[in-house]
Amino acid sequence: MPGNAFLDEDDDEHPSTAAEREAAEAEIESLMRGLEGHPDGADDAYDRVDEVVDSVLGGMRETLARLPVGFDEFVPETQFIRDGSVDDVADRLQATEAAVYEDDAWQLDLSDHGIEKNFVFLRSNGTSLYTTRDVAHHEWKFEQFDRAVTVIGEDHKLTFDQLNTTLELLGTDTDRLEQVFYSWVNLPEGGMSTREGTGVDLDELLDEAIDRARSEVESRLDDRSRGELTDADIDRIARQVGVGAVRFDVVATQPSKAITFEWDRALDFEAQSAPYVQYVHARCCGIESEAREAGIDPADSVGSDTLETAEARALVAEIARLPAVIERAADDLEPHQIAAYVRRFGERFNAFYRECPVVSADDELAGARLAVVVAARHTVANALSVLGVAAPESM
């Protein structure tokens, strides 16, 4: 990501080492420590921290926007130092029965709560740690929202347990705090680690996904499609398919399960991947276009007697399920349920497509089947939209 490059200052010949990255992070943390104790007289330090943060976040937002991932608001840690929230949290934690002073730091002994590792919240010089600022941040959340969901990596489970227990000690109703732990994204040859230098830059991953998608799309174009699509159209479709493949492959996996990203699976038009589902939408658009050319209009209403095949009835039943699937996925904080639904939807539609031709059917049946196709297109487009995946009109 561009934001990482700001810290790493990498180039192809001189990539930064793990030690250099750790040093950069330590410098930022040192700046943060310098702010504490001088909330009103450290404007230069605040400005420097804001400058670094804005540069890093700017690059990250630029990259994530390609997925697309957007954010309504960023809440800086400095806010809680500047307004005194961190000092207030530290004072209240020191006053709890769990507070102990060990190894030159104030800590919480959480062993009575089943947590063996102490929660360090204040250094001997009176400066806070990230964890202290995180407590202040979560207290701020509960003043702003009825429901708070923290999404973090599975390697932070202990940290979250400590945070949750600390908030309880401070009297916070933690029933309003939910968490989603995501497992690692791995490559077939093994895991990725930025500290070990085995990470993959997201921009590079997306660029390769788009290049591979372009090759796959071009290989599937027939003479008619090739004549109708411009180079700009093919580039647009390649972006929709390539980026969609990456996003869908991640979101389709249950958060607690490790994700192994494989190109062949992610870009497989025949398997249950993003391109497979996106092709359903493109196919619907193609059927509607052919129907218009043939003068066929979708029926205003479709009776059960008109849906004479099991495939048509099964597709209509699947169309009706989407609102309930989305509601349950939101309640359970499991977006992969929608991905599973849309994969199944693709199977139902393709069975309908094989058994229920539209343009060649008689007038009444053609109109009824076309109405089902229109409903199917809206359904798959809505499901993909919820997942943040584009719905191409042609592929």
Q: Which of 15-24, 64-73, 255-264, 286-295 has the highest mean pLDDT?
A: 286-295
Cβ–Cβ under 8 Å, residues 77 and 127: no
> How do residues 150-164 score in pLDDT, each as one tens digit?
999 998 999 999 999
All residues at 6 or more sequence positions from 224 whose CB lies less than 8 Å from its CB, including other chains: none
Question: In what helix (H) or strand (E) does residue 107 lie, and over which residues does it extend?
Answer: strand 105-108
**Which residue from 92, 86, 103, 73 is spatially nearest to 35, judged by alpha carbons?**
86
- Check residues 372 and 4 and name the one with the higher pLDDT: 372
Q: What are phi and psi of 178, to 5 degrees?
A: -115, 160
Say if residue 280 is exposed, middle or buried (CB neighbours under 10 Å; 0-12, 13-18, 19+).
Answer: buried
Neighbours of 194 (CB within 10 A): 13
> How do residues 325-365 score in pLDDT, each as one tens digit?
999 999 999 999 999 999 999 999 999 999 999 999 999 99
All residues at 6 or more sequence positions from 347 whose CB lies less than 8 Å from its CB, including other chains: 272
Rounded CA-CA distance 297/282 in Å is 19
Pairing of the two strands 177-182 and 148-153? parallel
pLDDT band at 50 (very low <50, low <70, confident <90, very high): confident
Distances in Å between the Cα of 178 and the Cα atoms of 60, 250, 331, 332 are 25, 21, 11, 10
pLDDT at 48: 78
Paired tokens of 307: 């849906």
Predicted confidence (pLDDT) at residue 240 exceeds the cutoff of 50: yes
Predicted confidence (pLDDT) at residue 18 exceeds the cutoff of 70: no
pLDDT band at 263 (very low <50, low <70, confident <90, very high): confident
Rounded CA-CA distance 223/232 in Å is 17
Sequential DSSP letters for 307-347: --SHHHHHHHHHHHHHHHHHHHHHHHT-THHHHHHHHHHHH
Q: Which of 20-24, 81-85, 93-97, 227-231 has the highest mean pLDDT?
A: 93-97
Rounded CA-CA distance 28/107 in Å is 23
Question: In what helix (H) or strand (E) does residue 177 lie, and over which residues does it extend?
Answer: strand 177-182
Predicted confidence (pLDDT) at residue 14 exceeds the cutoff of 70: no
- Check residues 307 and 44 and name the one with the higher pLDDT: 307
pLDDT at 174: 92
All residues at 6 or more sequence positions from 86 whose CB lies less than 8 Å from its CB, including other chains: 36, 80, 128, 132, 133, 136
Residue 201 corresponds to which amino acid?
A: D
Complete domains list, the chain, with CATH: 1-71 (no CATH), 75-182 (no CATH), 202-387 (1.10.730.10)
Distances in Å between the Cα of 22 and the Cα atoms of 26, 27, 28 are 6, 9, 10
pLDDT at 11: 47
> How do residues 244-259 score in pLDDT, each as one tens digit?
999 999 999 998 888 8
**Average pLDDT of every residue of the chain:** 87
Rounded CA-CA distance 106/119 in Å is 9
Question: In what helix (H) or strand (E) does residue 152 lie, and over which residues does it extend?
Answer: strand 148-153
Rounded CA-CA distance 97/163 in Å is 16
All residues at 6 or more sequence positions from 226 whose CB lies less than 8 Å from its CB, including other chains: none
pLDDT band at 12 (very low <50, low <70, confident <90, very high): very low
Q: Which of 15-24, 27-36, 80-89 has the highest mean pLDDT?
A: 80-89
N-to-C CA span, the chain: 29
Across the range 60-72, mean pLDDT stands at 91
> How do residues 76-117 score in pLDDT, each as one tens digit?
888 999 899 999 999 999 999 999 999 999 999 999 999 999
CA 160 vs. chain centroid, Å, equals 20
**Which residue from 130, 55, 28, 43 is spatially nearest to 82, judged by alpha carbons?**
43
Residue 45 corresponds to which amino acid?
A: A
